[in-house]
Structure 1
Amino acid sequence: MTPRIDAHQHFWRYRPQAFPWISDAMPALRRDFLPDDLLPRLAAQRLEGCIAVQARQSLEETLFLLALAEAHPQVRGVVGWLPLASPQLADLLEPLQARRALRGFRHLVQDEANPAAWLSQPALTEGMRLIQSRGYLYELLVTHRHLAAAAAFAARHDRHWLVLDHLGKPDIARGAAHWARQIAPLAALPHVACKLSGLVTEAPGGQWTPEQLRPFFDAALEAFGPQRLLFGSDWPVCLLAAEYDAVAGLCEQALAGLSEPERAAIWGGNACRLYALQEPDYAPQPDR
């Protein structure tokens, strides 16, 4: 039976200076969030594991997440951070390759002063070639303002999977049809997948209804198909707008019309495939 996997959540030991993006307006996030906090929520939704994703640009955090994965088998994989544009990238990556839970990397591109320029820098091209040649995927974190730049970036880097986080943070107020037009160039690339995550916090003021967000699920299914979509809770960030069970319930309702194999793919099968979670030694897959 296909495992059910939450493909996007975070752990941290909260220190204000380490997480400047967590503002005073986010009191719900200003504390520690660790596996013991998440595991009952996974169990309540019949989820057997999760992917822990970086939340700050720090090798220290990557090592912290890998240690959590080694101590908690439910943490099936880690998407960490390394300075992908650094000439020292190969040296930094070398000792990490033995860490079986490491499945990919991410950068907080949305927080860069010029995300499009960051994605197009030549040094990053070299870094992407290196990590893709080693079988690591890359997760794209951008907002709807930079989806065109993200599509150009993705077209240049097709040697392994790229995963778009949070549907590219759509402009909810402009509607799903507008987002569908924006996302089409990315969705046309067969090596790009998309996480059904983060929508509740993109709703204006964190106020959302299922009727408001359901069209984005429908548009994502139309664009990517069930074989390139993954469920992600974005816990604990989702707590700014919804409890874990509400996020999972929203996705369950949105996917209710699919076949059982299609639902199983989105709820875990695709995560197992993209993150190579069922490889016996968890080693990165060779180039596709």
Structure 2
Amino acid sequence: MRIDSHHHLWRYDPAEYDWISDEMSDLRRDFLNSELRSQLIEAKVDGSVAVQARQSLDETQWLLEMAQEAPILGVIGWAPIAAKDFPSILDDLRQNPLLKGLRHVVQAEPSQFLTSVDFQRGIHHLAGTDLVYDLLVYAHQLPEGIAFVDQFPAHSFVLDHMGKPAIARHEIDLWSRNVRELAQRPNVTCKVSGLVTEANRATWTPELLRPYFDVVLESFGPERLMIGTDWPVCTVGSSYSEWWHIVEGWTASLSPSEQASILGETATRVYRLSGASA
């Protein structure tokens, strides 16, 4: 199966999506299942994973409702992991088998958030389940992410957007060293996603992004990489189908089984997805 491991849905509200800046003004509208389905059909994608875009239990429940319809096979939601009542909230959320993991927007938090007592207490509860934790950090936060992951060596983590390298500033060396170090942890997989928005959106090319892909391919290997589009955020710099074509081009020299891993099998395995078709 071809799986998009990372996209969003929302009913746009300026107060709730204040991270959508003026330069991304085209995103200031609704993006719903019907539009998603047409994108997946065009790109010949079989199913997808919806990911939280705001830190709200209401949104998590809404995404789970949206996932009752194909093509969404799973949801990465949000919950107040650092809250004292997180265990009971987690128990309630786990009643829905479409919940596959949780994510917190750590890139917006102060340093040492991941290693704080309250957050780690919550992750200890999460680690007692089969739910994945999606790690969303900027490149400069990767060392903290490594220290965080090291506290939970048996739990499954997914690095979102390849650790958000600062492509627009042509920064690769420090990011590369940290990604290679993180990849030494076998419980971490990585999403090939989100690169267009880290580059200059008007001038990027597949050739400019290729060295970053090569780093994660060498570091994680195909069996620990999964494609994600970050739709609709990706549309500020590329179309949905274009991102699929780019990643397919990067993987063209790999074996059929390695291509299948990146284009769907890794996501299916890590998120425990079961069949559907757009």
TM-score (normalizing by structure 1)? 0.92
Distance 2:263 2:233 in 1: 20
Structure 1: state its 5+ residue gaps: 280-288
2:220 corresponds to 1:224? yes
TM-fit CA distance, 1:205: 4.3
Q: 89, 95, 109: which one pairs with 2:86?
A: 89
Q: 1:266 to 1:143 in 2, by over 3 A?
A: same
What is the match of residue 255 of structure 1?
251
Instruction: Say which of 179, 193, 206 aligns to 1:197.
Output: 193
- 1:50 alignment partner, one of 34, 45, 48: 48
Question: What secondary structure does 1:106 align onto?
Answer: strand
- Runs of 4 or more off by more than 6 Å in structure 1? none
Aligned counterparts of 1:181 and 1:127: Cα–Cα separation in 2: 29
Equivalent-residue separation in structure 1 for 2:49 and 2:87 (angstroms): 24
1:4 is matched with 2
Contact 2:103–2:135 (8 Å) recurs in 1: yes
What amino acid maps onto 1:216 in structure 2?
A: Y
- Alignment partner of 2:6: what SS? strand
Alignment match of 1:130 (pick from 125, 134, 138): 125
Question: For residue 141 of structure 2, what is the amino acid of its counterpart?
Answer: H
How many Å separate the matches in 2 of 1:178 and 1:247?
A: 25
Task: Tell me whether 1:76 sits opposite 2:73 in the alignment.
Answer: yes
Aligned equivalents of 1:39 and 1:132: distance in 2?
Answer: 33
Report how far residue 161 of structure 1 moved: 0.9
RMSD of aligned C-alpha atoms? Answer: 1.3
Whole-angstrom CA distance in 2 between matches of 1:257 and 1:180: 22
- Judge conservation of contact 1:176–1:219 (CA < 8 Å) in 2: no
* 1:107 corresponds to: 104
Aligned to 1:180: 176
Which residue of 1 is the match for residue 59 of structure 2?
61
Question: Would you tell me which structure has more helix in proportion to its own residues?
Answer: 1
In 2, Cα distance between equivalents of 1:205 and 1:103? 31
Q: Distance in 1 between matches of 2:171 and 2:221?
A: 20
- Secondary structure at the aligned position of 2:53 is classed as coil
Q: What is the rounded CA distance, in whole Å, between the counterparts of 2:204 and 2:175 in structure 1?
A: 17
Q: Give a deviation string over 1:172-220, Cα, whole Å, max 9, x none.
A: 1335444321212211100011000000111034531011001111111
Of 94, 108, 116, the residue aligned with 1:121 is: 116
How far off its partner does 1:4 sit?
0.8
Structure-2 residue corresponding to 1:271: 267
**Equivalent position SS for 1:193:** strand
Listed one character per residue, the Cα deviations across residues 18-60 of structure 1 (whole Å, up to 9, x for unaligned) are: 0110122211100000111111111122110000000000000
Note the C-alpha offset of 1:159.
2.4
